[in-house]
Chain A
Amino acid sequence: MATRSTDTRATKRHPKKKGGTGRLDQKLRAAPRRQVGTEYVLRLYVAGMSQRSTAAIKNITEICDAHLPGRYDLEVIDIYQHPTFLQRDQIIAVPTLVKKQPIPVRCFIGDLANREKVLLGLDLQDKL
């Protein structure tokens, strides 16, 4: 299980993962970006800690923990702190979740409240 956060505030609000990895923040920082066995590389762009941002973070971690335990790497990026990152992934709407791996690359805009659409897009619908 791997959740990294570029934004410290986002990390604070980050719910603890099930499965007994207590202090995961430190572990994450030390961990290499791609771990063996990591199938899903996800980036979530949010604008500060708005309600929408927290909702999006909560929604995606719930989905990942339920369907991809230990198989994902999630990076949360606050666009106010890293405006230059926006060009890299062609972000205009926030929140946006970018699925970098596995290919094809897909973007999910919105707070990820429509769980079925996210699962469908992440190709997890069979595991519902």
Chain B
Amino acid sequence: MVTRRRSRPRKDSVAVRQLLKAPTGIRGLDEVTLGGLPRGRTALVCGGAGSGKTLLALEFIVRGIREFDEPGVFVTFEETVDDLAKNVTSLGFDLKDLIRKKKLAIDYVFIERTEIEETGEYDLEGLFVRLGALIDEVGAKRVAIDSLEALFAGLPNKAILRAELRRLFRWLKERGVTSVITGEQGEKSLTRYGLEEYVSDCVIFLDHRVQNQVATRRLRVMKYRGSSHGTNEYPAMIDKGGLSVLPISSLGLTYPVSNERVVTGVARLDHMLGSKGYFRGSSILLSGPAGSGKSSLAAAFAESFCKRGERCLYLSFEESPDQIIRSMASIGFDLGRWVKKGLLRLNATRPTIYGLEQHLVSVHNLVSEFEPRAVIIDPVTNLSAVGANNEIKAILTQIIDVLKSSGITAMFTSLTGGAHGHEQSEVDISSLIDTWIVLQMVQSANERNRILYILKSRGMEHSNQMRELVLSDEGVDLAEVYAGPGTVHTAAARRKSGDTKVIG
């Protein structure tokens, strides 16, 4: 008698076991993949030339050894062991040492097509035996093969090769090792020789594209069987710490806010901001034309953090660290001593050194490494050299999200040109900003003077006055307010007009 199954099989009968993962140790990648690569299976890493495939595979092995105590085998078809070791020395990876300690085994497989004659039936048992011997030698838990496609170029019989590759992946699975193989991007398929047909568990795609003459790296998890994963393209970066991926989607508008206030570094400016200064963790914009005192106010802000013993990160797109220190010494800020004490880090780069995403990753890496309480970017408008305004806005949104979620106070300076209005920041980021201070240059009585006012400051009482900003060798200050008939009197006019009264 046939009974029709009325309900789905009970959940416990399915015995859903969580897919085990092998963390890569690569910054950001484990977040994007929610834990790492599928343990005991094979993951495919594909991408164009120079996209970082080899580095990802090698980092997977080396970090596996160093951070997770899982010995590994690296099989390379492209570089000799010496070349490989040299290439990654700059990342602080000492491959030779790991080999001596029997944690790592590297095999360089060289196939010279012109020296090979095919004379009958064969298989790739030699490769299996080589790999098996190395796995046994170090007790490997991880295997990387870079890149299997060299086999296709070297061996003429594709039918044998495909059958053997299928056998290889089955064999790797039986050996219980977690493996990464790399493949060159193809024109119509993910990889030139369709390796994705054999690897069904996890496929990671690396992209390296050039926009506005600036190269941008991105990483995407195309497929991850049995696991959820971030599906976006994530900005990636290769720097002296290796490959890093920024899992930007993990952030949102959910960060906690603080009622704590931080001083601006200028007592009278604090006074204008409800007598207390900025909110901790807020975003501050200083906008103004050239020479209006943006960097000086930023320096006062940095100094105030360092004086309290809090770390501050100053990202300059204009001046070198030494030049910043010299310039600020002229108005009485000795930033050099904070740098020596390790409280202030001046990081100067040209905006064009890399793409917008890389700037984002770079900020992210610096922040997680240095753990500052305040970050200054001076000036954000220089980023327009590497991206359109809407892109800069998107990146700044992400930078602000990164900083705000860590409770870091962020200050941006923005250069406004003569053609634009004073209240128009060039990169149009006003909606992202909590406190916006506008600086202006006014001309009167053969003088150019600096005027400061607060355009907006969310969530606090703030002054509506225009004040004169005075830079002297004693620092930055606001002049006392002398209200003349309908205007703020600055400098000469202020001294001359005896009938004005002091307000602030």
Contacts and interface: CB of A to CB of B under 8 A. Distances in A.
A92 B124 contact: yes
A108 B109 contact: no
Contacts of B109: 90, 92
Contact of A83 (B115, B129, B151): B129
Nearest to B125: A47
A83 B121 CA distance: 21
Interface stretch (A10-18, A29-37, A112-120): A112-120
Q: Specify which of A56, A109, A110, A114 lies most central, judged by the most chain B CB atoms within 10 Å of its CB.
A: A109
A110 B119 contact: yes
Interface in A72-89: 79-80, 83-84, 86-87
A79 B116 CA distance: 19
B107 interface: yes
A107 interface: yes
Nearest to A80: B129
B119 A112 contact: yes
A93 B133 contact: no
A91 interface: yes
Contacts of B122: 52, 93-96, 109-111
Contact of B117 (A80, A90, A108): A108
A121 B120 CA distance: 14
Contacts of A93: 122-127, 155
Contacts of A87: 107, 130
A111 B111 contact: no
Interface in B104-144: 107, 109-111, 115-127, 129-130, 132-133
A66 B113 CA distance: 28
Interface in B414-446: none
Interface in A33-47: 45, 47
B125 A106 contact: no
A10 to B, nearest CB: 15
Contact of B119 (A80, A92, A104, A108): A108
A24 interface: no
A1 B393 CA distance: 80
B117 A121 contact: yes
Contacts, number: 97
Interface string B144-166: 00000001000100000000000
Given A83-B133, A84-B133, A87-B107, A94 B119 contact: no
Nearest to A106: B115
A118 B126 contact: no
A89 B447 CA distance: 83
A92 B133 CA distance: 13
B111 A92 contact: yes
Interface string A45-58: 10100001001100
Most A-side CB within 10 Å, residue of B111, B118, B126, B133 = B126
Contacts of B119: 97, 108-114, 117-118, 121
B127 A92 contact: yes
Contact of B126 (A84, A94, A105): A94
A92 B115 contact: no
Contacts of A107: 115-117
Interface in B93-112: 107, 109-111
A90 B111 contact: yes
B146 to A, nearest CB: 15
A117 B118 CA distance: 8
Nearest to B116: A107
Contacts of A55: 120
Interface in A56-75: 56, 59
Interface of A: 45, 47, 52, 55-56, 59, 79-80, 83-84, 86-87, 90-97, 104-114, 117-118, 120-121
7 contacts: A83-B130, A83-B132, A92-B126, A94-B124, A113-B121, A114-B118, A118-B117
Given A90-B111, A109-B155, 8 more contacts: A79-B125, A83-B133, A86-B129, A86-B130, A110-B118, A110-B121, A113-B119, A117-B119
Top 4 nearest A-B pairs (CB, nearest first) are A110-B120, A113-B120, A111-B120, A83-B133
